Structure 1
Amino acid sequence: MNQEIINRLGVITDEEREIINGRTEIDLERYTQGKELVIDSKKMLEHGKMIRIRPHTRFVHFPRHKHNYIEVIYMCKGETTHIIDGEEVVLKTGELLFLNQHADQEILPAGEDDIAVNFIILPEFFDTAFEMMGEEENLLRDFLVGSLCFDPRYASFLHFQVADALPIQNLVENMVWTLLNDQPNKRSINQVTMGLLFLQLMHYTDKISHTKEGFEQKLIFQVLKFIDENYKEGELTELAISLNYNIYWLSRAIKKLTGRTYKELLQIKRLNKASFLLLNTGLSVTNISIAVGYDNTSYFHRIFRSYYSMSPKEYREKNKTTGL
């Protein structure tokens, strides 16, 4: 990250000065209005604002807490240790941590050279990002769905180890710079930038090292990740073997936890990928059918029509005409 930004974020804050001068605990009045330690967006955001950044408070143990907003933490320099839903997560330089309202978080004390920036974000800020991601099923979209509908079945946090992903680093730096310098139209700029960030992160599901602890959440995560990475040829048998589960038990568990069968989840993934290729490439419908895993073009036409209520050709012509 740009050194000027790191220098600005690394300045000792008034709160940190109090800690250095002897305060041994955080000042709860800075963070919450209630008795329970739920960090309140009304304390963290100005009225009418949907996003803000603040440096992570160092030198003190931050006790177990939740948020009534979505928090994104970017590690500019050094590292911080978080205990999330009982699981230790070490956030290192260049990495991102997304936490939704379900996450139970505790943070160990950080040193002066451990500089992180916290994005405090209201769920409605992600409307633009959600639209930019489209309807394609993926882990990040599911995380947002869980956040927006307060559904605890979905992952409460995502830890992206993306220090070597230059486009992601640039996008995060752009958002920090825009907010630090209070640029005009910063909400629109950052909503679009967040959407671009999500589109980039969709390509790094293999860089997610942790999710919410718990068998059901872990299983959903594993199934969706497998489909994300193997939608063309991934079979339920292969997934069952890789997870060491009985295929019939796994099939019933997927239906129970997601409301859809494995075949339905796979088909949705393939069709959403096909719609993306129809609108963003010049590939023929036959080649797109093969690319997403359907060798039988007639079958692909049939299921595409049943899902989108039009043929692939009609879908391409209509959406390009309307500019969707």
Structure 2
Amino acid sequence: MRNDIYELLNRITDEEKIILEGDTSIRKELYTSEDEFVIDSGKLLAQGKLIDIRPHTRFAYFPTHRHNYIEMVCMLKGHLTTHFVDGETLTLHEGDILLLNRHARHDIEPCGKDDIAINFIILPEFFSRTQIFYDRNDILRDFIVASLSDRKNYNDYLLYHAVGILPVENLIENLIWTLTYHKNDMNTIAMSTMDLLLMNLCTLSSDTLTDMSRGSNSITIQALEYIDTHFDNGTLDELAQLTGYSTAYLSRLLKQNTGLNFKQLLQQRRLQEAAYLLENTTLTTEKIIKKIGYENSAYFYRIFEAKYGMSPKDYRLILNR
């Protein structure tokens, strides 16, 4: 990695200066507004962004927490030790890449000055903005699909040992450079680079042995895949015909494994597609509404603003200014 990037990442942050001056506790208000320590993407990401980076805070014990986004920890130098609530301990070394789902609860031992880890913040919407996905039977793909669920029914993490794997190292460096030096003008390039990084990880062997292809998880994944590709005209009846299960069983299963029913999952996917089209095309809002399967414009405007906190017009202006 370029020396100037290492030097930038190795600088003492304002938060770390306070820790080194004697206040060794992590300031929760920088990360969350909730009583439970759930690190909030809204505290870390600029409005409209789907991915970003943040150097891990060193010199202090990071207490038990989880995230409302998918986190990818890249160990660039030194080591980092984390303890999961279930008692498992992992130590990351140079070149390790750790993906954490939104329900993983863990703490982190204090790191030294030469322990450099980068946290990639990845919103769930990132994974639904395009048709790009990863190998059909790959464990990373299944982990990502299941991690979008609102219920904890899958592994807390995936761990990859990527030291010396040149394409992965180059893509991580490119991502860090883009998100550090061009935070506001190369958003699409950064997201495409993240796609390439994840696709490269699919070719590696993961330390996890969890198989997401069995039992109810397999049916849930099949349902989520159907929604992902048929969001414009999909129906629960058609899904039932394709899977061979009754609509009642599928409804219960989706609610149990994702926390959302079929209609809510379909709406979530449609809104994600609308956001992608607003950012990456010149289609009018009315054409986008029809493209994603809605006929009632007033209803679409209401649910879009409820999810994103602004109108489609303002959303497009913010992302393309």
Q: Aligned in 2, Cα 1:13/1:145: closer, same or farther, shift over 3 Å?
A: same
Q: Which runs of 5+ in 2 are unaligned?
A: 223-241, 244-321
Distance in 2, Cα, partners of 1:190 & 1:176: 9
Spell out, residue by residue over 1:284-317, the C-alpha distance to the aligned partner (whole angstroms, 9 max, x if none).
xxxxxxxxxxxxxxxxxxxxxx99xxxxxxxxxx
Q: Aligned residue pairs: how many?
A: 223
**Paired position in structure 1 for 2:95:** 94
Comparing both structures, which one devotes a greater share of its residues to helix? 1
Spell out, residue by residue over 1:28-67, the C-alpha distance to the aligned partner (whole angstroms, 9 max, x if none).
1111101111111111112222222111100000010010
Q: Aligned in 2, Cα 1:157/1:136: closer, same or farther, shift over 3 Å?
A: same
**Paired position in structure 1 for 2:307:** none
**Paired position in structure 2 for 1:109:** 110
Within-5 A mapping of 1:166-315? 166-182=166-182, 185-204=185-204, 206=205, 208-210=206-208, 221-222=210-211, 254-255=214-215, 258-259=218-219
Q: Aligned in 2, Cα 1:47/1:110: closer, same or farther, shift over 3 Å?
A: same
Distance in 2, Cα, partners of 1:52 & 1:117: 10
Q: Aligned in 2, Cα 1:192/1:14: closer, same or farther, shift over 3 Å?
A: same
SS in 2 for 1:133: coil
Asked whether the 8 Å contact 2:142–2:212 carries over to 1, the reply is no
Q: Aligned in 2, Cα 1:184/1:62: closer, same or farther, shift over 3 Å?
A: closer
Distance in 1, Cα, partners of 2:183 & 2:48: 17
Within-5 A mapping of 1:60-99? 60-85=60-85, 86-99=87-100
Code of the residue aligned with 2:95 in structure 1: it is G
Shift of 1:255: 3.3
SS in 1 for 2:169: helix
Q: Aligned in 2, Cα 1:18/1:162: closer, same or farther, shift over 3 Å?
A: same
Distance in 2, Cα, partners of 1:180 & 1:44: 14
Asked whether the 8 Å contact 2:82–2:91 carries over to 1, the reply is yes
**Paired position in structure 2 for 1:153:** 153
Shift of 1:139: 0.7
Q: Which runs of 5+ in 1 are unaligned?
A: 211-217, 225-253, 265-305, 308-324
**Paired position in structure 2 for 1:17:** 17
Shift of 1:94: 1.3
Shift of 1:134: 5.2
The percentage of counterpart residues that share the same residue type is: 42
- Over the residues paired in the alignment, what is the CA RMSD in angstroms? 2.4
Spell out, residue by residue over 1:55-99, the C-alpha distance to the aligned partner (whole angstroms, 9 max, x if none).
110000001001011111111111100112421111111111111
Distance in 2, Cα, partners of 1:123 & 1:257: 19
Code of the residue aligned with 1:197 in structure 2: it is L
Spell out, residue by residue over 1:93-145, the C-alpha distance to the aligned partner (whole angstroms, 9 max, x if none).
111111111111110000000011111121112235x7322571211111111
SS in 2 for 1:193: helix
Shift of 1:257: 5.2
Q: Give me the TM-score of the superposition, normalised by structure 1.
A: 0.64
**Paired position in structure 2 for 1:119:** 120
Distance in 1, Cα, partners of 2:45 & 2:115: 24
